[in-house]
Structure 1
């Protein structure tokens, strides 16, 4: 009887696991090329189409703020291009939205002046630029997200923050991929003084891959913030195939009590880099009131390439990690064995992993809002390739670390272009609908005529960046 019961329980368990696997396989990606833990975010799928037709920020119909304030599933399509100078912070409080920056004509969209913050579940953001700047003399992130579920940010460019450039943590099921994250402002508007930070990377099931961090003094990124507040010992951050260039006094650090994969990243020290051999400086929480007090995180670290430091590349752990940690910890062998794990934390094989140098070359070619690259990305990527810098700060920062966007020439002019004719106002231009055997006079954004898994308008949005997506493989 016991034998039969055990076998029945085992068989039931196997069936349940198979069911879960089949269910995962049946899910539709956010878009072709979506990877990581946020890859099944649906955004505005099945929803209405809203248009951004002007660059003002007064909440009137046709503004980005108005479109984001609406309730229900929605796609945001741009019929204009240029820089949106915000009049106040932009908080995304209504989820189930796809912000399709690739639909903009001309040179695309930049959001400036204040931070953009995701405070809602189920959000897709693609091919946008978030360049905050110091004009309003306030501290903030160019882009941030906390306390939400299901987010994917793809092929965006962020810079000129007065706090962190992009911080995504204390969330569940998120991906930041193929983004170019550059030039935080060091001596600027932050109340604590010199800042100039890349960002914070954390969360439960959080993926950060194929991003570039360049010209930040520190937090390139900071892992965390410590996991004691919501996901104590249950978080998982997968950080792979990123490029880190020209950090100042610190690159990757933190990660108190966290579960982390740090795999196949490319470290390229630059003129500002003080410690050129660090892979990560792991910290331990020193706050007794937290759930992770005095507990080391669990790290899988492998395959990271430190340009110009072959000994670090050959031995990430001893040369790039343990030798770089705070000496006050007085690391013992027991500490090292507690920190280091020999098998990666399971990410369900949700990212195609490149070699570090392959990732570096791909990011140079297609990283960021690369459908049309602006002058900022073109300059920083050129500098990274050459291992140099073009500008210094106006308030004392040196070697590519800047203090104001005015130090590098300010906001670039973006050509407005002209939106293509869309007779039925369904977000898909007539010529594209005709080419794909759709009726340009019948609104059918939510039809499944072209792909059983995607709305027609999603097929259009994906088609706009098809060549870039193909180059990711």
Structure 2
């Protein structure tokens, strides 16, 4: 029969199940009829939701309710509420699952606005957003603001995926946000001033960013910097992501600054080619398994700087690897004493024009990086459980660093924290943390948006990292080839063909056919399966964990 899928769990035939279900439905109908004759309706205010649920199974299914049924998807050992592998303070973010009225929005074009665009997709809360298009979305120098109860799954795009370019993002004011495999490329052209963050949040809660890449910010690459509005800034995780190539003269990884009761987790990220703030941290914070490479004369990890307030932190098993610290910086040269012809050497200068009595030019130079830890001298103690952190300072192309301990701290670090003998009990356990060396190798292979594919921008930074000290540039303008070799080629990405999706629910037909979903009905995409994730989230997870899904299918339905 056409378009018919027969799924059969081992030892139990579908026909037997159907007959049994019809038989029990018949008995239930008779008993329900008798109950209607004998009993008065239950007053809504007196109803016990455990006995008299508000909605029927069918209503919940049609309205996107929390219905658990369907395929035998794998159950993950680390099935955090957000997704398998989520850790830290933001691990329990639910995204669109937090809403009983969730819906799927499929991005179908690269337009900056209008139906089918990403901008339109994020304009409403309660959405799971997936992609059936690939390429560059020009944000026209605008900021995109994510809303509450949104799950955004960039890994579902075909080809090499999506690039958000010429703009920036924020999740300020939102709660329950899950963003995975997103790339944000701001660019010097967005602003001549040093004031644009590629991403971040100033107030919000229950958020997690995973496998993202934030580059070319002209202020910070990514910041979680409390603005005092709303309920605060807490229960947020940034993990498995790249924060890199911040544009000079204010080239920064970011500010991670909250109160000491507002938890933030920074786990297994790559911070690369940023002059300073990799990160600057204040408040209740975990900083675990991060790799910091080729910072400049600003800071690698800044323990609060001169910021006010108490900090309660864990800094564990990170690797700080010194790079060559080549940099391009906009420099003023007095007109009265400068020969304009010097700027003809494009390997050292890029002439930017005149400001007042000065010539301005991006100037190529090599700076002396700071020590890996600075700060700790602000108004309020910077308490830290700081162990297992390694420093490779010889730039010899080999990963051969040494551990930073309290015994050698004054030699290699300038920060003045209060050292703790154990982590504060407030901090959630990260069971998947590794040694600093293992974290480095994991990052090389897996950090950032590796799905659908790692793009040229991220691969360029990985290629710098693995030189372990011999390559690395902190540039000012990514549009100049003398500063950034990929200036005219980073846009070359593979545009994949859209996947066949008959009902337009974001789940391709081949996945629905295989797992017994209805490819002619969009309603099943938002239903929650037995493993706790919606059907469409399970599709996205199958791209990430193909072996687990194939094993589960064979165990449930195989010969």
**Superposition TM-score tier, normalisation by shorter sequence:** 0.7 to 0.9
Pair 1:209-2:282 in alignment: no
Q: 1:85 aligns with which of 138, 143, 154?
A: 138
**Cα pair 1:280 1:320 within 8 Å, conserved:** no
TM-aligned CA deviation for residue 383 of structure 1 = 1.4
Is the aligned partner of 1:299 residue 2:384? Answer: yes
Larger Rg: 2
Query: 1:362-403: per-residue Cα shift (whole Å, max 9, x none)?
Result: 01001000120111111110111012566xxxxxxxx51111
Partner of 2:527: 447
| 5+ long unaligned stretches in structure 2 | 1-76, 227-232, 327-366, 550-559
Are the aligned partners of 1:115 and 1:132 in contact in 2 as well (CA < 8 Å)?
A: yes
Matches within 5 A, 1:416-431: 416-431=495-510
Equivalent residue for 1:199, pick from 249, 254, 270? 254
What's 2:278 paired with?
A: 220
Query: In 2, are the aligned partners of 1:51 and 1:79 still within 8 Å (CA)?
Result: yes
Pick the aligned partner of 1:262 from 315, 318, 323: 315
Higher alpha-carbon deviation: 380-389 or 169-178: 380-389
Match of 2:181 among 127, 130, 133: 127
Is this contact kept in 2: 1:282–1:321, CA < 8 A?
no
* Per-residue Cα deviation, 1:410-444 (whole angstroms, up to 9, x for no partner): 34222221121111111100001111121211221
Give the alignment of 1:100-111 within 5 angstroms.
100-111=153-164
Between 402-411 and 349-358, report the one with greater CA deviation.
402-411
Calculate the aligned-residue CA RMSD, in Å.
2.6
Change over 3 Å in CA distance of 1:33–1:217 after alignment to 2 = same
Paired with 1:381 and 1:369, the residues of 2 have a C-alpha distance of 12
Deviations 1:127-164 (A, max 9, x none): 11011012232530111111100110000111111111
Among 417, 429, 436, the residue aligned to 1:349 = 429
3-state SS in 1 of match to 2:474: coil
Match of 2:90 among 10, 25, 38: 38
1:183 paired to 2:245: yes
Deviation at 1:79, TM superposition (A): 1.1
- Structure 1 residue 65, shift from structure 2 partner: 1.0
Would you tell me which structure has more strand in proportion to its own residues? Answer: 2
Distance, in Å, in 1 between the alignment partners of 2:532 and 2:369 is 46
Say whether 1:151 aligns with 2:207.
yes
SS in 2 for 1:244: strand
Matches within 5 A, 1:256-335: 256=307, 257-272=310-325, 278-285=371-378, 294-308=379-393, 313-320=402-409, 324-325=413-414
Kept after mapping to 1: 8 A contact 2:78/2:84: no
> Tell me, what secondary structure is at the counterpart of 1:140?
coil
Q: How far off is 1:258 after superposition?
A: 1.1
- Report how many residues are paired: 400
Greater RCO structure (CA 8 Å; 6+ sep): 2
User: Residues of 2 paired with 1:38 and 1:89: CA distance?
Assistant: 27
Question: d(CA) in 2 for partners of 1:459 and 1:83?
Answer: 26
Cα distance in 2, alignment partners of residues 93 and 272 from structure 1:
35
Q: Is the 8 A contact 2:325 2:368 kept in 1?
A: no
The change in CA–CA distance for 1:87 and 1:75 in structure 2 (over 3 A counts) is same
CA 38–52 in structure 1, closer or farther in 2 if over 3 Å, else same: same
